[in-house]
Amino acid sequence: MSVFVVEGPNRKNNSNKPWREPPEWSDEAYSKLKKLLVDYKPMREANVSAANILLVGQIGAGKSSFFNSVNSIFRGKITSKASSGSFEHSVTTAFRKYKIKDFTSGKFLNFRLCDTRGFEDEFEIDLHEISFILDGNIPDQYQFNPMVPMTSDSPKFMKDPDLQDKIHCVAIVVDGSTVDVMPEKVRKQLKDLQVILNLRNLPQVVLMTKLDKVCPEVEEDISNTFASATISKAVKTVGEIMGLPRGHVFPVKNFEKETKLNIGAGFLLMDALKQCLDFADDFMDGQLDKMDSEGKRTREKTGYMCTLS
């Protein structure tokens, strides 16, 4: 029996060939995907208790809402822990490394969603500060100050982070309904960000949000997502803008007007999350290879010890 009240989706007999293999849209498949995320553990050798997924992107793209939506799935009801909304400047002002609890088992999940201040036209994001986040130098709850970005001399700067503190996968959040009119300055900041991600071999996915605003048929019924030519086109455009394969672009619909969990939206959110975790494992694996080749990893009685310098 379902432990939550489910709204939709009402499957339509859509004869279009899907542009990507859709999920099974059943309660059973939903529970299976959810269990997979609950059971997720970072690869043992990495000695990391939780994978860190960084949410970055333009203000209002839906970063905090993505966290709230994922948190809601595991809480079994709509929650709104992170402030979200539309404002001329970023609603999120602090760096947060959110833990998520699975309400069924009472256990914390082995990944964290890291929420950041949004990119805006007016304030250029400080690339050093972003690098510090990626490398684990910035603590949870750090208050961003666009006028005075963090430096390695700041009192809160964490000097000796290890693999556990680093970001393991980056999810670039893009509002699918406004991607065509993304301001040039924001587009440039995203490109600059990608340069520093590529330097670190950090895996990237794009969460293309606000599907409901991109296609009316999807707003009516989210199970039309993979049959919608409009969504397919938007995914292609986002992939081209970000210079990433289409397979790295995940269409999602955050919970915003909903008062109950929606199984269809939940599928898309969890599917995107699963990809982030698979990529996070790839990154950790790559880091271990790097440490091996640099002779920075030693096997101890209790398992692997990783040291970074």
Ligand X SMILES: Nc1nc2c(ncn2[C@@H]2O[C@H](COP(=O)(O)OP(=O)(O)OP(=O)(O)O)[C@@H](O)[C@H]2O)c(=O)[nH]1
Would you say 52 or 224 has its CB closer to Mg ion? 52
Instruction: List Cβ<8 Å contacts ≥24 apart for 101-110.
Output: 101/74, 101/75, 102/38, 102/74, 103/74, 103/75, 103/76, 104/3, 104/38, 104/76, 105/38, 107/38, 108/50, 109/37, 109/38, 109/40, 109/50, 109/74, 110/40, 110/41, 110/42, 110/49, 110/50, 110/51
Query: What x/- string results for residues 91 through 130 when contact with Mg ion is judged by CB under 5 A?
Result: xx--------------------------------------
Select from 92, 223, 225, 262 the one that contacts ligand X (CB under 6 A).
92
Query: What x/- string results for residues 231 through 260 when contact with ligand X is judged by CB under 6 A?
Result: ----------------------xx-x----
Footprint of ligand X on residues 167-196 (CB under 6 A)? Answer: 173
Strand pairing category for 107-115 and 96-102 = antiparallel
Establish if 71 lies at the interface with Mg ion (CB under 5 A): no
- At its nearest, how many Å lie between ligand X and the CB of residue 303? 37
Would you say 179 or 288 has its CB closer to ligand X? 179
Residue 259 interacts with which of ligand X, Mg ion, none, CB < 5 to 8 Å by class: none
- Categorise residue 99: left if φ over 0, alpha if ψ from -120 to 50, beta otherwise: beta
Query: What x/- string results for residues 12 through 31 when contact with Mg ion is judged by CB under 5 A?
Result: --------------------
Residue ranges binding ligand X (CB under 6 A): 59-65, 84-86, 90-92, 118, 173, 209-210, 212-213, 253-254, 256
